[in-house]
Structures are given as structure tokens and as C-alpha cells.
Amino acid sequence: MSNLLKVPDRKETETPTRQRTESFKRLRSSPGTQEETNTTKKSATVKNLTIGMERRDIGPLSLDELMKHFSLLIDSKNLAKKEDIDDLKLQMKEIKEENQKLKLEIAQLKEKVKFAERRVELVENLERKNTLIFRGIEEMKGTDSEIIKNFCHDILNVQLSDNEIEKLHKINIPNSNKSLLKVRFTNNRIVMNILKNTKKLKGTGFFIDRDYTWAVRNRRRKLFQYRKAILETDSSRKVMIRSDSLILDGKKYYWDEDEDDLKTEDGKTLRDVLPVPVSVLQLRQNNR
């Protein structure tokens, strides 16, 4: 009897549909709580996966073993690391500094070589200062000494004695019937006296010149080309060649090997003091 009169509990009397409706209402009434719950579950899942990754096998390898293989692969491919790049930058800096030092040393060595070459050339020119080259006299008769004495007496009006000629050397020009005489005199006074009278040789086919070194002869060749070009442009200019210098309107110019141009002692070039003729510009290009 008592069992029949017992009031059923509310939960027991609720239908399944009623229970689902109540749950849905609770979810809608507290969305923040639900999101936090979902986030917590996801974090826990990721954490569990991460903790277990190192112990898991990836195929036949664990993650630790796989990472070691990756490291070995990178090393075998010689892929650059940050430490490698830093080392390369340091090495490049050291190489640049060493390169600058070498450039400075090379420049200093070049200056020393130039200085030595100038000294050698100066010594050679001093040795040759009493020597003259006579050209165009191969048709003259007699011994070499007699030819020189007669030539100087008859054409230059310069008297020579036997003891004023120190040495004679005949040089045959290859592939021709011509020859020249190289004569060394005992003193420079005789040389200057002969050179002073060479203006008498104009139009005769005879030539007398100093015994210049190869370097001086090369510079003189260029100077004569410039002289010809300047006179062709302006015949009123006074241009002379003295040894390895060009004298233009009283101003002396020397050949600068570095600049490959004519310069004065104060560093001015031919272009600085007069408009350079087109023919001179062409010569400059041809001489380079």
C-alpha cells in the first residue's frame, strides 16, 4: 500500500527528451565555460602527444633517432649554419685586410723598381755620353778612323786627332747593304762640338746621333711623332727634341710612362697648356 502511494522522484519521471532539453539549455546559458573546457581538453591532448612523441616510433625509428639522422644529413650536404656564415665573414674580413696590405706592398715595390730602373738608365747614359752614332757614311772610302776624321773635317769643319778617338765599332744593318759607325771619343767637349755642327747635315743624307739606351730611343720615337703632329696642326709652333724631352715654345715636356703622356716638371700635361690637335689624340691612342 505504501508503495503504491509513494510519489515518484522528479528525475525518474522526466523523459529522455526532457533531459536533453535541459542539457541544451545549460550549454547555451554558459558558453564560456564550454569553450574553456574544450581548450583544456585540446591542450591536454597535445601535451600527451608531445610527451609521448619521443617514445613513439616513426616507422622503424624513434623521433630522437630521426632528428639525429637529419643532423647527419645536414652535415653531409655541407649546408651552412650560422656559425659557418660568421666564420666566413671573419675570414673575408681578414682576406680583405691582407689584400690591402699586399696592394700597398706591390705599390711600394713598383716604386722601388722604377727607381732602380732610372738609376740603371742614368748609369748607362753616363757611360754613353761620349759616344756618337754616324749613319749614311758606308760609301766613304778608307779605314773607319780615317772615315770619321775626314767626315768631321770636310763636312762639319771639326778637326780630330787620332788620340781623340777612343773606340770605333762598325755595325752592319741586317737585310741591307747599309752600316753605321759607333764612335766613342775621349771627352765630351768633342762630342758637343760635333753635335753643334750637325745642322750642316740637313739634306745631305748623313745623320749623327747620340748612343741612347733602348728606353730613351723608344721615348724619342714617340716625341718625334708628337712633334710632327703638332707642326702639321700649327706650323708656327717652335718644337724641338732634346734627348728624351720635347720643348714646345720654350716649355720642356717629359714622357710619363705611367700616364703615357707628355708632362712638365710641375705635373701639367700637354692637354693642360694647349688645345690638343686631333692627330695628337690619335697618336696617343696608337702608342698605347
Dump pLDDT digits (tens) for 62-76: 767 777 766 776 666
What distance in Å separates the CA atoms of residue 243 and residue 212, rounded to the nearest whole number? 8
Give the per-residue pLDDT at 54.
Answer: 47
Task: Collect the ranges in the chain with pLDDT lower than 70.
Answer: 1-61, 63, 69-70, 73-81, 272-288
Give the per-residue pLDDT at 49.
Answer: 45
Say which CATH class 129-210 falls into.
Answer: alpha beta
- Cβ proximity of 208 and 135 under 8 Å: yes
Q: Where are the domains of the chain?
A: 84-128, 129-210, 214-280
Secondary structure E strands in 25-164: 57-58, 61-62, 131-135
